Amino acid sequence: MFDLFSEDYDILGAFWVTVQLTVLSAIGSLIWGTILVAMRVSPVPVMRAFGSGYVNIVRNTPLTVIIVACSLGLSTTLGWTLGGDDFDESGFRLAVLGFIAYTSTFVCESLRAGINTVPVGQAEAARALGFGFLQVLTLVVLPQAFRSVIAPLASVLIALTKNTTVAAAIGVAEAALLMKEMIENESDAIFLVTAIFALGFVILTLPTGLLLGWVAKKVAVKR
Amino acid sequence: MSAPSVLYDAPGPKARTRNAFYTVLFAIALLAALWWVISAMNDKNQLDWDKWSPYLAGTEAWTTYLLPGLQNTLIAAGLAMLMALPIGALFGIARLSDHWWIARPAGAIVEFFRAIPVLLMMFFANEAYALFTDIDRDIRPLYAVVTGLVIYNASVLAEVVRAGILSLPRGQTEAALAVGLRKGQLMSNVLLPQAVTAMLPAIVSQLVVIVKDTALGGALLGFGELINQARPAQSYYGGNAIATLIVIAVLFILINSLLSWFASWLERRLRRRKKGSGAVLGTDMIEEQAPGMHLTGRATGENTAGGL
């Protein structure tokens, strides 16, 4: 048996990195996903083509390939470190970049489904008032769409939390990488080690699901 | 969406000029970004022909690295799907049981394994096989990857099966009970056959998720699938990382696009069909569902309900 909170293994620190990865990627992919969905429904054909092309290509690429490409391709080969001073810092930033690129496609698809739930009359009324495309989208349609996609977006957020483990592939010191190290060193306690990390992820994901499920019911547009 | 879109008016002369202006502006921005990437690649000699020729002009790179990798990817994904499906069906049906001592534990197991990352289960399986079994070192990563995928995807598919059964009209159950079928017969003769048809698109799109997740085993457990070949291949061909990664990504995108297209074709076909109950589980509902939330709300036709 090993000492759980010994100085050899910083379990809480590793999960803190997981949380940081999740939060930063979530914010980034929410922004980029919203921009993508605006492009996908815009009146400009080139933007529509770019939006749907990006989503179809990126969501069919394994996240692992994207993350490895960020490290091996962008960092090692092209020398882009995104302003990170050392290996750890640039690895973290590259991982966040990869997660944003990937997760935003799911945000975009959820939002597009949300736009489809807004009654046609809403947009028609907005146009009758003389609103342009961006006004219709940002003042009338998207606010209602966001309220109806809280639950799907929560699913995306939880999937993102679990997906941050992929960052272990490029050596970001988050929970899964620490688990790999611990499970190899403490081979007499693999059940305990697995249980600890599984519990950690349950603690991160389950309340998110319950809380956002409640919020989704609360803010749903009554029609 | 009606033509062209309810979000904006049919463009008049002024709007057409404005759209043309935005088109040009956006095209210039895209081209500038593309130029930036290409010149960065060119600076590091990533566009030289000898970096690309192993994949575009020769067969050696394909037979040594890519095709064996692709084969391993498909084997792992196929095995995982074949094993996850029956286990998932079992748990999905168990969750619908009338006996709480079957339904509750099944539900708890499904929710637990959906809440933890698939990678954790792969690490655990890898180490457990190393300690407790004498599976050969070479084949162990395949076992570990498939085990992890089966555990995770069985719990996802359990929810799909449950949603599929719940999506059937109540009349099916009532009619079957009225003619005197027992609960077991109701499930095996009436509900399950119809549910499987309704689930087909969702199952095929889950295959996309499985194919994508096999790459985890390659990057972290040394399982010899496609992405695992990236590092040896790029160092053998003189540091052509960009070319190698692009070729690997294109292979994955081709497989997954084909599967996605097949899934939505199945869904369209099943929705059109006059026979049967008309219940179909769409391909979009399966993506990464959250634990603690239920699929069933969006199971049938909700997102087609007369919106924008």
Measured CA to CA, the distance from residue B147 to residue B28 in angstroms comes to: 48
Residue numbers in A near B211 (CB within 8 A): 62
Q: What is the pLDDT of residue B274?
A: 64
Structural domain contains residue A66? yes
- How many domains is chain A built from? 1
Mean pLDDT value across residues B213-238: 88
Q: What is the pLDDT of residue A86?
A: 79
Could you read off the pLDDT of A177-196 as tens digits, one per residue?
Answer: 999 999 988 888 899 999 99
Q: Is the pLDDT of residue B285 over 50?
A: no
DSSP label at residue B296 = G
Q: Is the pLDDT of residue B281 over 80?
A: no
Q: What is the CATH number of the domain that holds A193?
A: 1.10.3720.10
Nearest-CB residue to B257 (from A43, A60, A77): A60
Structural domain contains residue A6? no
Could you read off the pLDDT of B69-126 as tens digits, one per residue?
Answer: 999 999 999 999 999 999 999 999 999 999 999 999 999 999 899 889 999 999 999 9
Q: Is the pLDDT of residue B128 over 50?
A: yes
Give the residue carrying structure tokens 């739930």.
A117
Structural domain contains residue A47? yes
Q: What is the pLDDT of residue A5?
A: 57
The residue segments making up the domain with residue A108 are: 11-219
Q: Is the pLDDT of residue B17 over 80?
A: yes
Q: Is the pLDDT of residue B1 over 60?
A: no
Give the residue carrying structure tokens 């750890």.
A88
**Cis? peptide before B4, omega within 30° of 0:** yes
Cβ–Cβ contacts within 10 Å for residue A192, how many? 15
Phi, psi of A132 (to 5 degrees): -85, 180
DSSP β-bridge partners for residue A119: B307
**CB A29, CB A100: distance < 8 Å:** yes
Q: What is the pLDDT of residue B177?
A: 93
Structural domain contains residue A101? yes
Q: Is the pLDDT of residue B301 over 50?
A: no
Nearest-CB residue to A190 (from B112, B124, B284): B124
Say how many Å lie between the first and final Cα of chain B, rounded: 5
Q: What is the pLDDT of residue A80?
A: 81
Q: What is the pLDDT of residue B43?
A: 86
Mean pLDDT value across residues B275-285: 64
Measured CA to CA, the distance from residue A117 to residue A53 in angstroms comes to: 23
Q: Do A106 and B124 touch (CB under 8 A)?
A: no
Structural domain contains residue A1? no
DSSP label at residue B307 = B
Q: Do A116 and B11 touch (CB under 8 A)?
A: no
**CB B97, CB B105: distance < 8 Å:** no
Is B215 an interface residue toward A (CB < 8 Å)? yes
Structural domain contains residue A173? yes
Q: Residue B304 corresponds to which tokens in the numbers above?
A: 């087609």
Long-range pairs, A46-50, Cβ under 8 A, ≥24: A46/B23, A46/B26, A46/B27, A46/B30, A47/B22, A47/B26, A50/B26, A50/B30
Residue numbers in B near A47 (CB within 8 A): 22, 26
Q: What is the pLDDT of residue B3?
A: 46
Could you read off the pLDDT of B168-215 as tens digits, one per residue?
Answer: 899 999 999 999 999 989 999 999 888 888 888 889 989 999 999 999
Nearest-CB residue to A141 (from B7, B9, B112): B7
Q: What is the pLDDT of residue A192?
A: 92
Nearest-CB residue to B8 (from A43, A158, A213): A43
Mean pLDDT value across residues B30-35: 95
Give contacts of A 175-194 with B, CB under 8 A: 176, 179-180, 183-184, 187, 190, 194
Rg of chain A over Cα atoms, rounded to whole angstroms, equals 21
Q: What is the pLDDT of residue B282?
A: 67
Q: What is the pLDDT of residue B276?
A: 63
Structural domain contains residue A198? yes
Structural domain contains residue A4? no
Residues of chain A with pLDDT under 50: none
The shortest C-alpha distance from A202 to chain B (Å) reads 6
Nearest-CB residue to A201 (from B15, B116, B260): B116
Mean pLDDT value across residues B2-19: 80
Residue numbers in B near A127 (CB within 8 A): 6, 8-9
Q: What is the pLDDT of residue B145?
A: 95
Render chain A in DSSP notation, one character per residue. ---TT-SS--HHHHHHHHHHHHHHHHHHHHHHHHHHHHHHTSS-HHHHHHHHHHHHHHHTS-HHHHHHIIIIIIIIIT---TT-SSHHHHHHHHHHHHHHHHHHHHHHHHHHHHHHHSBHHHHHHHHHTT--HHHIIIIIIHHHHHHHTHHHHHHHHHHHHHHGGGGGGGT--SHHHHHHHHHHH-GGGHHHHHHHHHHHHHHHHHHHHHHHHHHHHHHPPP-
Between the CA of residue A74 and those of A102, B98, B127, B242, what are the distances in Å?
Answer: 16, 55, 32, 8
Please report which confidence band the pLDDT of residue B307 belongs to, taking 50, 70 and 90 as the band edges.
very low
Q: Do A176 and B123 touch (CB under 8 A)?
A: yes
Q: What is the 3-state secondary structure (H, E, C) of B193-223?
A: HHHHHHHHHHHHHHHHHHHHHHHHHHHHCCC
Please report which confidence band the pLDDT of residue B4 belongs to, taking 50, 70 and 90 as the band edges.
low
H or E element at residue B246: helix B241-272
